[in-house]
Amino acid sequence: MRTMTNKGHFLGLLLMASSLLNCRSHPLDGFLHQEISTRDADGIKSYAGYKLFRTDVSQTQLPVVDSMDMSPGVEVWSWKHKGRSLDHQYEIDVLTPPDEEKQVRQVFNEYELPYEEVIRDLQVAINNEQGDEIIGFSPKTPHSMTWDKYHSAEDMYDYMSWLEIHYPQLVTIIDIGKSFENRSLLVAKISGHSDSPKPAIWIDGGLHAREWISPATAMFILNRLVEYQWEYEDITGKFDWYIMPLGNPDGYEYTRNHDRLWRKNRAMNPNSQCVGVDLNRNFGYRWRNGGSSVNPCSDIYAGPSAESEPETQAIRDYIMELKDQLKVYVSIHAYSQMWLLPFAGAYGLPENFDDMYEVGKLATDAIRKYDGTDYTLGSVTDLLYIASGGSGDFAYAVAGIPFSYSLELRDLGQYGFILPKEQILPTGIETYEGIRAMAAGVLERLPKYEGNSTSVTEDLPRDSDALTEPPNSLDQDLNEA
| String of DSSP letters for 386-441 | ---S-HHHHHHHTS--SEEEEEEES-SSSSTT---GGGHHHHHHHHHHHHHHHHHH
Catalytic-role residue among 75, 253, 408, 430: 408
Task: Select from 3, 32, 4 the least CA-distant residue to 263.
Answer: 32
pLDDT > 70? residue 336: yes
Q: Report the percentage of the chain scoring pLDDT > 90.
A: 67
Q: Which of 226, 245, 219, 220 is nearest to 170 (CA)?
A: 226
Rounded to whole angstroms, the Cα distance separating 252 from 271 reads: 24
Best mean pLDDT range from 68-72, 135-139, 190-194:
190-194
Among 291, 287, 263, 293, residue whose Cα is nearest residue 275: 263
Q: What is the pLDDT of residues 152-183, one digit of tens each?
A: 999 999 999 999 999 999 999 999 999 999 99
Residue 479 has pLDDT above 60, yes or no: no
pLDDT level of residue 452 (50, 70, 90 thresholds): low
Question: Which fold is adopted by the domain 153-449?
Answer: Aminopeptidase (3.40.630)
Is 311 a residue of the active site?
Answer: no
Lowest mean pLDDT across 2-11, 93-102, 260-269, 445-454:
2-11
How sure is the predictor about 18, in pLDDT bands with cuts at 50, 70 and 90?
Answer: very low
Contact 125, 119 (CB under 8 A): yes
CA dihedral 93, 98, 101, 103 (to 10 degrees): -130
- Closest CA relative to residue 123, chosen from 53, 45, 68: 45
Predicted confidence at residue 66, as pLDDT, reads: 65
The single-letter DSSP state of residue 268 is B
Strands (DSSP E) contained in 260-356 are 326-334, 338-341
Closest alpha carbon to 304 in 268, 346, 273: 268
Report whether the peptide linkage leading into residue 239 is cis, meaning its omega lies within 30 degrees of zero: no
Tens-place pLDDT, residues 211-267: 999 999 999 999 999 999 988 888 999 999 999 999 999 999 999 999 999 999 999
Check: CB of residue 173 under 8 Å from CB of residue 241. no
Instruction: Report whether pLDDT(315) > 70.
Output: yes
What type of residue sits at position 138?
A: S
- Distance, in Å, from the CA atom of 280 to the CA atom of 388, rounded to the nearest integer, reads 8
Give residue-wise pLDDT tens across range 382-410. 998 889 999 999 999 999 999 999 999 99
Q: What is the pLDDT of residue 133?
A: 52
CA distance 75 to 291: 15
* Bigger pLDDT: 477 vs 186: 186
Please, how many CA atoms are within 13 Å of residue 282, restricted to the half-sphere of its CB? 28
Domain ranges of the chain: 13-130, 153-449
Q: What per-residue confidence (pLDDT) applies to 37?
A: 52
Give the residue, 16 or 46, on which the prediction is more confident. Answer: 46
Q: Is the pLDDT of residue 96 over 70?
A: yes
- State the pTM of this model: 0.85
Quote the pLDDT of residue 423: 97
Q: Quick one: average pLDDT of 1-7?
A: 33
Quick check: 306 pLDDT over 80? yes
Res 39: pLDDT: 66
Q: How does the average pLDDT of the chain come out, rounded?
A: 85
State the Cα–Cα distance between residues 436 and 440, nearest whole angstrom. Answer: 6
Residue of higher predicted confidence among 464 and 115: 115
State the pLDDT at residue 140.
54
User: How much of the chain, in percent, has pLDDT values that exceed 70?
Assistant: 80
Nearest to 337 by CA among 426, 259, 263: 426
Find the range with the poorest average confidence among 101-115, 342-356, 459-473: 459-473
Q: What's the CATH code, domain 13-130?
A: 3.30.70.340
Predicted local distance difference test score (pLDDT) of residue 87: 58
Residue 374 has pLDDT above 50, yes or no: yes
Q: Give the chain's length.
A: 481
More confident residue, 86 or 286: 286
Distance CA(475)–CA(481), nearest Å, equals: 10
Handedness of CA 213, 216, 222, 223 (dihedral sign): negative
Residue 327: CA count within 13 A, CB half-sphere? 25
The candidate with the shortest Cα–Cα distance to 333, out of 431, 206, 442, 178, is 206
